[in-house]
Structure 1
Amino acid sequence: MMTTSSLSEAPAAATPVGKVTPRGVVSSEWLKFWSLRSSWIALAASLVVLLAFGVIASATYSPPTAGNSDQGMGDGSSDAVSLALMGTPLVSLVVGSLGVLLFAGEYSTGMIRSTLTAVPTRLPVLFAKSAVVALLVLVLTTIGALMAFALGTIGLDGEKISLSLGDEGVLRSLLGFGVYVALVAAFGVALGALLRSPAGGISSLLGIMMILPNLTSLLPDSMADALEPRFPSTAGEAMFSLHQSADSLSPGGGFVVFAGWVALALAAAAFRLKRTDV
């Protein structure tokens, strides 16, 4: 005969335990992303920087003339796309830092314990964070690039370098920019998960993306020429450059190289995430 105690215990014993699914992890990271004020600020700042730099560069452009060394933010080798994307270095730093903070920030606050308790397999957290931030950055910066280019054409009206969206390579360059910046954001997530320190992750991002290419000046010319196009930032720039120089990678080659860097960083972060206790 069942007692009152056994009746009360039966439903609890039969209650199924919720299963962790990739969709559930992505949904959780999506909600977590939008609950952070820093996410809103970083996305808004990247859009403002992209538009402001692009519009100002286009509006202040002046073609090269004899004895004219003051040419605004543009120069004679510029094109309408490069002027529209003048804010690329700063935008890359903003979204890359956002990626770092999404993962390393949880280690700083201790929230990572709750996250990994909810998702004991761990790796879905890394990939979900990367996917969420990369997708959002891709959409926002692509729209921003298109807007910056459209507004820039107003300032370049009548100039020889003025282009339209239908001109060869223009749309490819603007879309390539969005893909590049999305990969930078995913790269930041990987560095944040690998180093687990906001300061360390952002410093490493800055060093790899902006300082490393400048160190090639210390190398022999032959070695520098071979290595520089394959650094993350220079390979990434090939993805959205309207014109490729003789020693640069093609847009497709730049994508493969930079995506390889991101994949390598994610693999290292995944290895550490699985091998360490927290």
Structure 2
Amino acid sequence: MAGGGRFGDLLAAEWIKLWSLRSTRWLFGLGMPAVVAFAAQSSLDAYRAWPGFTAMEKARFTSLAEAFSGLTATMVMIGAGTVGALAIVGEYATGLIRTTLVAVPARHRVVAAKLAVVGVVTLVAGGLVSAATFGVSQAILSGRGLTVSVGDPDVVRVLAANALLAPVSALAGMGIGALVRHTAGAVVTVCGVLVVVPMFLQPTVHQWLNDLYALVPFYVWRTCLGLPQVRDDPALPTVAGSWAVLAAWPPAAAVLALLVVRHRDV
């Protein structure tokens, strides 16, 4: 077919390439259990400390925060972003990209297949991590009567936001990887853009600056989507605006990757 092969064949090839990277196997094989283990440890710490909590601490406590904390989100975003970046940087580093583009001259089809495979894999991984951390945390905290159910208000929103951090970060990482094309540089840039810089962003009296912050996935998760009860503060992102940000990053990263791969030499 024009462009070199059926799209299904391209998907199969990208699936093999993704799992042939040792970094992918390590990040999924160790990273996902580590995230669940952190959630379990945090929940155990809360379980043991509960009798000593003050009345205010008990009133503010939410088991969702123990299941998926800022540290957990950081681990997920860095891990998924790294997978996304290396999925494209690794092929350039080994020179395999030349062979790929000889077989499939239509570069946009290659990039589309990479985006599809990485997006689906990390979406599934993110959903599993979100469900596992929630389940483990609820099982531990049930002994204190501190659990919530999926049917409770805003729980599904929080779980969905937690799950989506992985594919959003992975596709953003692919865009960064296409632009940087250097393994260490891409990983550092992914960490800086997705996690390190947003960690230091705080609401200010300047609304234009708050609006700028609200374009960052980690920021909108931390200040809105990751909270069971959204704070009523005009300086903070809204739920609708936060969903829009998460929805906008994957296509923006996809367009960046497509443009860079199509217009830069191998």
Q: TM-score, normalised by structure 1?
A: 0.81
Alignment partners' CA distance in 2, 1:154 and 1:140: 21
Q: How does 1:186-197 map to 2 (within 5 A)?
A: 186-197=171-182
1:40 Cα shift? 1.6
1:58 Cα shift? 0.9
1:77 Cα shift? 4.0
Deviation string, structure 1 residues 162-209 (Cα, Å, up to 9, x no partner)? 212332222332133212211111111111112111212111111111
Contact 1:46–1:95 (CA under 8 A) maintained in structure 2: no
Q: Which runs of 5+ in 1 are unaligned?
A: 1-15
Q: Which runs of 4+ in 1 moved over 6 A?
A: none
Correspondence for 1:137:
122
1:220 Cα shift? 5.9
Correspondence for 1:175:
160
Alignment partners' CA distance in 1, 2:41 and 2:117: 31
In structure 2, relative to structure 1, the CA distance for the partners of 1:269 and 1:39 (3 Å cut) is: same
Alignment partners' CA distance in 2, 1:202 and 1:269: 16
Q: TM-score, normalised by structure 2?
A: 0.85
Q: How does 1:13-92 map to 2 (within 5 A)?
A: 19-61=4-46, 62-63=49-50, 65-66=53-54, 77-86=60-69, 87-92=72-77
Q: 2:228 aligns with which of 203, 222, 242?
A: 242
Q: 1:257 aligns with which of 245, 260, 266?
A: 245
Contact 2:88–2:178 (CA under 8 A) maintained in structure 1: yes
Correspondence for 2:263:
275
Is 1:97 aligned to 2:82, yes or no?
yes
Identify the structure with the greater helix proportion.
Answer: 2
Contact 1:57–1:84 (CA under 8 A) maintained in structure 2: yes
Identity %: 26
Alignment partners' CA distance in 2, 1:59 and 1:159: 11
Greater Rg over alpha carbons, structure: 1
Alignment partners' CA distance in 2, 1:67 and 1:246: 23
Report the number of matched residues. Answer: 258
Alignment partners' CA distance in 1, 2:114 and 2:221: 21
Q: Which runs of 5+ in 2 are unaligned?
A: none
Contact 1:193–1:273 (CA under 8 A) maintained in structure 2: yes
1:17 Cα shift? 8.9
1:23 Cα shift? 1.8
Contact 1:43–1:137 (CA under 8 A) maintained in structure 2: no
| Worse overlay, 147-156 or 49-58 | 147-156
Contact 2:40–2:133 (CA under 8 A) maintained in structure 1: yes
